[in-house]
Amino acid sequence: MSTLAFSQIQVVDLAKRMAQPSENLQLIDVREPEELAIASLPDFVNLPLSQFPEWSEQIATQLDPHAETIVMCHHGIRSAQMCQWLVQQGFTDVKNVLGGIEEYAAIVDSEVPRY
């Protein structure tokens, strides 16, 4: 079995994807609330990894396991962990944002604060 059962998405492709409204798209940000206060992108649901016990039990009822699910964090490490976990929960179309919001701010939108 592959250890990487999810794919990666470049920040430029994320911007294009976000520009196409779709009800079949789920956006998850696993950073902490204080990080979101500094920089965030619209339409991302915040599921901080530090609060995993509080939200993990409801993931199957809150999200569609067959919808396209894109996960972001600061640099792409925590989101990769979340992607792996989602795949283990039966999610079938999971993508990790390469470079996270840091890369998004550097390449796509300089208005997004960097920290």
Q: What is the CATH number of the domain that holds 24?
A: 3.40.250.10
| Confidence (pTM) | 0.94
113 occurs within a structural domain: no
Residue 14: what pLDDT?
97
Mean pLDDT (the chain, rounded): 94
The answer as to whether 114 is a domain residue is no
Is the pLDDT confidence value at 2 over 50?
no
For residue 3, is pLDDT > 80?
Answer: no
Residue 73 covered by a domain: yes
Q: Does residue 2 fall inside a structural domain? A: no
Residues designated as active site: 73
With beta carbons less than 8 A apart as the criterion, state whether 49 and 28 touch. no
Report how many domains make up the chain: 1
- How confident is the model over 41-85, as pLDDT tens digits? 999 999 999 999 999 999 988 999 999 999 999 999 999 999 999
Domain range for 41? 7-107
